[in-house]
């Protein structure tokens, strides 16, 4: 059996590396139009940072795992084709700012149709709107010249989270495969299930109809993001009342009906999926006339925007209503720890908000390159997910500096903002950092990872999300 995967990104690369690792008898080729990316996948400096990924790639690469730009050849030869291309939010035209842009998906489908000389199972790995399989089926069947070629379309959404992708792929809670309710559709489901059964217990391989599988992916992300927006909404109330959001989260999370995961209040959720997929879900609801349902889910995104804005306002308000010309050290730019990914990271909106008020941001992140940070801070909203986007000149960048040394970033700064929960931040010598900062020195902990009592004892004025403000603390730190 031969597998090809179109799209060598955060999903296509790690997912196919795991399939190749676990199924040595299957040839797996990951193809992409981006030559640089493929070159990196063939080197020891992979294009994405993900713990444990290099080891998996090194074991399978050259044996039965290959990365190539020869899309036509490998797609033409494959029995199963995963499509794992990006499905960004549309930036213009009908549905701009919410609908999924399926340009890359349709391009991939047209490519498959043009080279197929044998029947194929085409697997939707990308996250797509409900009913995409129907549209893709039409593109495939009406563009293929060979009448004997049959296409079976499956929906096999990916649930991995970045930073834990290898663990998630190795031990997933479940794998979901949706297919047509026809004998050939069911046969295709079984063929794909056999691949996963190499390492995943059968009871964790769920099957469904196509539309349920497509919708389950959007729903899963909407529910996860909703939990974060819910606890973030409560974090605002905690700050206003003297309650502590960690205590509230713990108290409700021990109720087994609620559960303790995904209740960490934060400066806002980021990542390439949550916002995009909720907007996509809302747009689908609108197109079928369910305005109230769309409005319900929009609120999850609005609350997230509010949380980022609230954080910026808190920083400015605490620093005597002016950050003009003040150096602010930003610790963490990635959207979460253990990844170099910055797509939709809350750090973008926070930095832009502070810079608009005149601040000078000095950014440190252990994994994100300066080039990426400059690109993100100059990119218009939703443009980042386009392969051909190149950095534009932006006045924002005049007030941005990127530092490879966290101590240098804090040197001469008025404040430190923690925007990503990198473990290394917990180990820093904050007493030494305090010495080098302008007084009063502020810390704004947007992830609640630091020891706030200790920081206050050093002399910092501390603001932590959803935690009692200084005026509610018994000890007077003024």
CB-nearer residue toward ligand NAD: 226 or 399: 226
Which partner in ligand NAD, ligand UDX, none is near 104 (CB below 5 to 8 A by kind)?
ligand NAD
Structure tokens at 450: 């630091």
The structure tokens listed for 417 are 């903002």
Look at residue 303 and give its three-state secondary structure.
helix
Judged by beta carbon, residue 269 or residue 444, the one nearer ligand UDX is 269
**The two structure tokens encoding residue 61:** 């690469």
Q: Which residues contact 408 (CB under 8 A, 6 or more apart)?
A: 362
Which class for 141: exposed (0-12), middle (13-18), buried (19 or more C-beta within 10 A)? middle
Determine whether the annotation assigns residue 296 to a binding site: no
Establish whether 214 is an annotated binding residue. Answer: no
* DSSP label at residue 327: E
Minimum CB–partner distance for residue 11 and ligand NAD (Å): 4
Angle at 112 (CA atoms; ends 12, 105), nearest 5 degrees: 55
Q: Give the binding range for ligand UDX (CB under 6 A) out of 54-62, 72-80, 156-164, 194-202.
A: 156-164
Report what 335 binds from ligand UDX, ligand NAD, none; CB cut-off 5-8 Å by kind. Answer: ligand UDX
Among 158, 200, 167, residue whose Cα is nearest residue 51: 167
Q: Please report, as ranges, the residues that interact with ligand NAD according to CB under 6 A.
A: 6-12, 31-34, 37, 71, 84-87, 104, 107-108, 111, 126-127, 158, 160, 162, 272-273, 387
Asked whether position 228 contacts ligand UDX by CB under 6 A, the answer is yes
Question: Which is catalytic among the residues 273, 282, 362, 417?
Answer: 273
243 exposure class (CB count in 10 Å sphere: 0-12, 13-18, 19+): middle
Q: Does 158 bind ligand UDX (CB under 6 A)?
A: yes
Q: Is 273 a catalytic residue?
A: yes
Helices of type H across 171-290 = 183-196, 210-241, 245-253, 274-287
Q: What residues numbered 317-346 form the site for ligand UDX, per CB under 6 A?
A: 335-336
- Judged by CB, which is closer to ligand UDX: 238, or 461? 238
Asked if 264 touches ligand UDX (CB under 6 A), the answer is yes
Q: Cα 27 to chain center, whole Å?
A: 28
**Which of ligand UDX, ligand NAD, none does residue 47 bind (CB under 5 to 8 Å by kind)?**
none
Pick from 273, 279, 377, 400 the residue near ligand UDX by CB under 6 A: 273
86: annotated binding-site residue?
yes
Q: At what angle do helices 291-318 and 210-241 cross, to 10 degrees?
A: 40
Q: Residues within the annotated binding site?
A: 7-12, 32, 37, 85-89, 126-127, 162, 273-276, 343
Residues in touch with ligand UDX (CB under 6 A): 158-162, 221, 224, 228, 262-264, 266, 269-271, 273-274, 335-336
């Amino acid at each position: 059996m031969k597998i090809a995967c179109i799209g060598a990104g955060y999903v296509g690369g790690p997912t196919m590396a795991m399939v190749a690792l676990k199924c040595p008898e299957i040839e797996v080729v990951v193809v992409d139009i981006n030559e640089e990316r493929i070159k990196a996948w063939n080197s020891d400096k992979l294009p994405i940072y993900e713990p444990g990924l290099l080891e998996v790639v090194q074991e399978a690469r050259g044996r039965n795992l290959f990365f190539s730009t020869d899309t036509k050849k490998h797609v033409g030869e494959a029995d199963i084709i995963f499509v794992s291309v990006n499905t960004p939010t549309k930036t213009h035209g009908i549905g701009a700012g919410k609908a999924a842009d399926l340009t890359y998906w349709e391009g991939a489908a047209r490519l498959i149709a043009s080279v197929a000389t044998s029947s194929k199972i085409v697997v939707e790995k990308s996250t797509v709107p409900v009913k995409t399989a129907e549209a893709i089926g039409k593109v495939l069947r009406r563009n293929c010249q060979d009448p004997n070629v049959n296409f079976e379309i499956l929906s096999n959404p990916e649930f991995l989270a970045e930073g834990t992708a290898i663990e998630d792929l190795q031990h997933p809670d479940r794998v979901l495969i949706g297919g047509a309710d026809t004998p050939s559709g069911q046969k295709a489901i079984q063929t794909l299930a056999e691949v996963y059964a190499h390492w995943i217990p059968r009871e964790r391989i769920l099957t469904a109809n196509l539309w349920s599988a497509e919708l389950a992916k959007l729903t899963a992300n909407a529910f996860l993001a909703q939990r974060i927006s819910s606890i973030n909404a409560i974090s605002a109330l905690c700050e206003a009342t003297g309650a502590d959001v960690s205590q509230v989260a713990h108290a409700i999370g021990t109720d087994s009906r609620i559960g303790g995961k995904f209740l960490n209040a934060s400066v806002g959720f980021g990542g390439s999926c949550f916002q995009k997929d909720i907007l996509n879900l809302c747009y689908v609801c609108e197109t079928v006339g369910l305005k109230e349902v769309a409005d319900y889910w929009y609120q999850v995104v609005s609350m997230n925007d509010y949380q980022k804005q609230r954080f910026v306002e808190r920083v400015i308000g605490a620093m005597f209503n002016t950050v003009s010309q003040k150096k602010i050290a930003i610790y963490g730019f990635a959207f979460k720890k253990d990844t170099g990914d910055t797509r939709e990271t809350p750090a973008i909106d926070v930095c832009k908000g502070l810079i608009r008020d005149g601040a000078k941001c000095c950014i440190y992140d252990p994994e994100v390159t300066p080039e990426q940070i400059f690109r993100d801070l100059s990119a218009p909203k939703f443009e980042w997910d386009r392969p051909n986007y190149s950095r534009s000149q932006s006045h924002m960048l005049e007030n941005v500096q990127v530092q490879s040394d966290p101590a240098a970033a804090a040197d001469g700064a008025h404040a430190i903002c923690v925007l990503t929960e990198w473990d290394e931040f917990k180990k820093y010598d904050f007493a030494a950092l305090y010495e080098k900062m302008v007084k009063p020195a502020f810390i704004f902990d947007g992830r609640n990872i630091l020891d706030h009592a200790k920081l206050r004892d050093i002399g910092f004025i501390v603001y932590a999300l959803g935690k009692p403000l200084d005026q509610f603390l018994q000890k007077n730190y003024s």
